[in-house]
Amino acid sequence: MTEFWNAMSVLLSPDGIVFAVIGFLIGCIGGALVGIGGALTTALVIPFTLSMTPEHAMIILVAVYSGVSYAGSIPSILINVPGGPSSAASTLDGYPMARKGEAATAISISATASAMGAILGGIAFILAVPFLAYVANLFGSQEFLMFGVFGLASIIAASGTGILKGFMAGILGALLACVGASLLDANPRFTFGIGELYDGIDLAAAMIGVFAFAEMVRLSQNPSSIAGMLIGRGSIWRGIVMTLKEWKGILRGAGIGMWVGLIPGEGGTVATFMSYVTEKQMSKEPEKFGQGHPGGIAGPEAANNSVIAGALVPTLTFGIPGSVSTALLLTALTLHGLRPGPSILTQDVVVLYTIIGSILVGGVLTMAVGLALSRPLSLLTIIPVPVLVPLVCVLSVIGIYASAFNYSHIFVALGAGVLGYAFVRFDYPIVAFLLGFIVGPLAEENFMRSYQLTGGRPYLIFERPLSALLLVLSILILLRPLYRAWKEYRQRKNAAAAG
């Protein structure tokens, strides 16, 4: 409990609160700008956090995550264009409500439900920590290796772009992470005689390249602003009252969000749509869904924000990120010298509680700052793209340099940008690539340890029950899309035979 109060003293200190507010505001700006989104915003903030203490860095990054999760719904509601995929469900009832002249009411529902979802998720996470510590201690190097495989399998299966593509992206990521001095004997691997590659491919540079550069090139094709006009009015108070009336939906949404967040690769989009469908089915007036029903905003928004806590469980406990944003948080933890996994539950407990506390603070900020700034934030949707692109590009370039004071990292980021753009264009899952890149070195370490422990007979890994179970689960998860495709094929065949 001492660690919990130590974390709270850091979090609730003037510095902690200032960092949380700054992070939340940055997240709101990134979330409200269509095309920027959570991943890019987090990637851009990471270099600034490197000179901070790990606790302050986590406060600012979790606050960014909270801000993005909330503000993504602002363009969804105002202009029917989601700030990110996880905010897409909010367009279904948020935009019709805005068209009825109730935009402020819809934003207020979104903020209140988001805050409640984040707070419920944070509380559930605090309660789960002792149990997670017990589970994580059951894991040895073999189990970690297999959990890495399980995480990658989950993300590949959930990516929806095909198993082969997912595998290729993940393996390529892990292979590129091998570049530089070997973990085993410090001899250089795959450097091709380039001295700058001896330290490996810089994680921060790769992240910013994949997200920022690729996204800016893609966004630059649009000559105008993200939104041409704004629709606003309604009542913030009315929205709060309407949200409180939907308390059952918020509880359901928060539960769905936490559960879905636990599964690597699923994330906010799945959670919000699951919550929307559940609310529609359980509502006494399902016919009003799609026409501006508050339940259609409250449930999904609660789910979208409780996902944060759920997704952080596998990220922190096992080092397996559930989404791109959590992959970036994992990157930040690694850059700060912290090692996600069971050790964070025993050795870095203050950082862990700071992260959980930041989720709760993010919930409070969503309610207080988010509601107050909903109108100014909506103005961000009218920034012209030709203004946005050079500003983000220059920020990214200086940010990469600031992360390690090494100019060659900027050229690494340019290369990563080309790869990121190609991945988007050819529909390869970037999350699988990132997971491979981040988890690759950890997996190699655990693999080599297991290899040595089993005397060069790696199949003995599966004599351990938990490892075998994780392998079976990984295979089942990978077979799921194939089974679905086979089922669809059978249905089509039956329909053709009947018709």
Query: Pattern of binders to another protein over 248-287, x per CB under 8 A?
Result: -------------------------x--xx--xx------
Give the footprint of another protein on residues 321-360 (CB under 8 A): none
For residues 143 and 215, which CB has a smaller minimum distance to another protein in the complex? 215
For residues 259 and 401, which CB has a smaller minimum distance to another protein in the complex? 401
Give the footprint of another protein on residues 175-214 (CB under 8 A): 175, 178, 182-185, 187, 189-190, 192, 213
Q: Residue 476 corresponds to which amino acid?
A: L
Rounded distance, CA 276 to CA 279, Å? 5
User: Least distance (Å) from another protein to the CB of residue 235?
Assistant: 27
Q: Does 407 bind another protein (CB under 8 A)?
A: yes
For residues 150 and 213, which CB has a smaller minimum distance to another protein in the complex? 213
For residues 204 and 345, which CB has a smaller minimum distance to another protein in the complex? 204
Rounded distance, CA 458 to CA 35, Å? 44
Q: Which residues, in sequence order, are CB contacts of 327 under 8 Å at separation 6+?
A: 315, 321, 431, 434, 435, 438
In the numeric block, the tokens 């605090």 are attached to 126
Rounded distance, CA 476 to CA 467, Å? 14
Give the footprint of another protein on residues 61-120 (CB under 8 A): 80-82, 85, 88-89, 91-92
Q: Does 288 bind another protein (CB under 8 A)?
A: no
Rounded distance, CA 77 to CA 476, Å? 38
User: Least distance (Å) from another protein to the CB of residue 152?
Assistant: 11
Task: Rounding to the nearest 10 degrees, give the CA dihedral for residues 466, 470, 471, 473.
Answer: 140
> Tokens in use for 204?
């921060």
Residue length of the chain = 499
Give the footprint of another protein on residues 139-178 (CB under 8 A): 164-165, 167-168, 171-172, 174-175, 178
Q: Which residues, in sequence order, are CB contacts of 104 under 8 Å at separation 6+?
A: 232, 233, 234, 235, 236, 239, 374, 375
Q: Does 297 bind another protein (CB under 8 A)?
A: no
Q: Does 384 bind another protein (CB under 8 A)?
A: yes
Quick one: residue 180, left, alpha or beta (phi over 0 = left, psi -120 to 50 = alpha)? left
Q: Which residues, in sequence order, are CB contacts of 196 under 8 Å at separation 6+?
A: 406, 408, 412
For residues 387 and 476, which CB has a smaller minimum distance to another protein in the complex? 387
- # residues near another protein by CB under 8 A: 76
For residues 149 and 309, which CB has a smaller minimum distance to another protein in the complex? 149
Q: Does 4 bind another protein (CB under 8 A)?
A: no
For residues 12 and 183, which CB has a smaller minimum distance to another protein in the complex? 183
